[in-house]
Structure 1
Amino acid sequence: MLDFLSATARSRIFWFLVLIACLVLEGVALYYQYVLDYGPCVLCVHIRAWIFGLGAVALLMLVIGGPLALLGHLASLGLALGMLRSSWITLGVERGTIIDSCTMDPQFPDWLPLHQWSPVLFEPWEPCGYTPMLAFNISMAEALVVISALWALVSLVLLLASFRKPKKEKDLFS
């Protein structure tokens, strides 16, 4: 099992799947925004930015490959924790357990004005407080908390596994 995790931590196929997952998540967000007319709030835009960052890391790791696996998984863990924090706040605002007055300013740093570079993806349309319902009566905020928590766990496990060198015969994914 440890050899499998170690090989997975260095795998280009793994990072390709991460990139696909990020594209699917961003695609779902855009579908809800532009087809179903559920505009994003500031917190939703922040979650999109975390996912976009993870996709960028996945693309970089896909190109560079295994030698920088440790850094890729460290970045992935940081992005997952940022996404988990934003998702948790979104859920708290939705349920009324966190009082937050979201502005319409996404407050990206001056050196990274995502909302100006790509308003289609990163411009908030609505105030915080509501996310649409998905299948099985699960809100988007609830789903995002679960997704980001699972991603943080996967990132942590693969970060730890990247310290171990896989046996050559088990290194099937590189």
Structure 2
Amino acid sequence: MNTLTQLAHSRKAWFILFATALFLELTALFFQHVMKLNPCVMCVYQRVAVFGLIFAGLLGMLQPKIWLVRFIAVIGWGISAIWGLKLAIELYNMQTYPSPFETCGFLPEFPHWLPLHQWFPSIFLPTGLCSEIPWSMLGLTMAQWMIFAFSLYIVALVIFIWPVLRPNSHPNSK
């Protein structure tokens, strides 16, 4: 069994996914509550995508040797990373090419059975505008950094997808 396959079947790989996504989430909360940068609707949606990465990492850490668990975790990882990248690109375009015809709303459109902005307003209630660029580092806006981060998650997924999903590649696979 090669090193990549061993890593994909270990808790270490899933912990890295979990820890890096948790770091992004904590950084977003630091920006909001300490630096007083108001998140927009698109930022809140990206937070949901990052929470998806956190949950995928947690799930993968639970039973990395069981194929079905890895499969579900990989699906969550892929959906969250691709959706997050799509949102980050949309936010970047709104900020870079503002248009009166393409704006974001003031409240997130969560399903009626999952009103995260009402249950956890300190995390999921947007208070900023999508067209604002409240922060940049090394000449890149927050949206651009998130494009980079979600792209890295997708690249990592592509590298790991075959070893993670191979049903018989680990002696203890079930």
Q: TM bucket by the smaller chain?
A: 0.7 to 0.9
1:103–1:128 distance in 2 versus 1, CA, 3 Å: same
Counterparts of 1:16-165 in structure 2, within 5 Å, are 16-67=15-66, 68-96=69-97, 100-164=102-166, 165=168
Deviation for aligned residue 1:114: 1.3
CA displacement 1:59-118 (0-9 Å, x = unmatched): 122123221212211220111000000001011111016752211110011222211121
TM-score, length basis structure 2: 0.87
Query: Counterpart amino acid of 2:113?
Result: W
- Taking the aligned partners of 1:122 and 1:107, their CA distance within structure 2 comes to 11
- Taking the aligned partners of 1:131 and 1:80, their CA distance within structure 2 comes to 22
For 1:162, what is the secondary structure of its paired residue?
helix
- What percentage of aligned pairs have identical amino acids? 27
Query: Counterpart amino acid of 1:82?
Result: W
TM-score, length basis structure 1: 0.87
CA displacement 1:1-58 (0-9 Å, x = unmatched): x822222222211111211111110111111111111100000000000001111121
Deviation for aligned residue 1:167: 6.2
- Taking the aligned partners of 2:82 and 2:39, their CA distance within structure 1 comes to 20
1:133–1:140 CA contact under 8 A, matched in 2? yes
- Taking the aligned partners of 1:37 and 1:52, their CA distance within structure 2 comes to 21
Query: Counterpart amino acid of 1:58?
Result: G
- Taking the aligned partners of 1:11 and 1:93, their CA distance within structure 2 comes to 40
- Taking the aligned partners of 2:3 and 2:98, their CA distance within structure 1 comes to 41
2:94–2:103 CA contact under 8 A, matched in 1? no
2:49–2:84 CA contact under 8 A, matched in 1? yes
1:94–1:130 CA contact under 8 A, matched in 2? yes
The aligned length equals 168
1 or 2, which has the higher helix percentage? 1
- Taking the aligned partners of 1:14 and 1:120, their CA distance within structure 2 comes to 30
User: C-alpha root-mean-square deviation of aligned residues, in Å?
Assistant: 2.0
